[in-house]
Amino acid sequence: MNSCTVLANRMSIFTACGVLLCSLTMMLAGCGGGGQTEYVESDEGDVRLVLSDVSGAASDPNDFRALFAEGAAPPDAERAKYSPYMCRANEITIEGNTATALVEIEDGNTGQIVGEKEWTLVREGDQWKLQSAPLP
């Protein structure tokens, strides 16, 4: 075999690998599948977002109060108690402008579930706000 034949064989292998890699990348990326997936807002999704924001917002009084309905935010002395917890809704029931969520509360430091409480939310305008959010 001369050096030109060896070089041609190697180039064919590289070309085949390149085509295969490009095809695989396109399949994994979803190319040719009809466009991007669009986020569709839903009341349940919006309620879940509010619940997931509680821990992070607890470090700032204004952010924390903004998650609650008018006059429903716990006093500032209680706000810090929410900081170490991660809150997830196991069940959400929505009836009109009121939502009830069974919230699993996890200690973010230990990963331990510390309890489950029922939280209520109300819709104010186009946003869901917490009406009650008791801790265990």
65, 73 contact by CB (below 8 A): yes
> How do residues 69-104 score in pLDDT, each as one tens digit?
999 999 999 999 999 999 999 999 999 999 999 999
User: How far apart, in whole angstroms, are the C-alpha atoms of residue 61 and residue 80?
Assistant: 9
Q: Give me the pLDDT at residue 15, please.
A: 47
Confidence (pLDDT) at 10: 54
pLDDT of residue 12: 52
Q: At the topology level of CATH, where does 43-132 sit? A: Nuclear Transport Factor 2; Chain: A, (3.10.450)
Q: Considering the entire predicted model, what is its pTM?
A: 0.69
Contact 107, 81 (CB under 8 A): no
Cα separation, 65 vs 105, in Å, equals 19
What are the tokens at 59? 């470090």
User: Can you list the alpha helix ranges (DSSP code H) found in 30-75?
Assistant: 43-57, 61-66
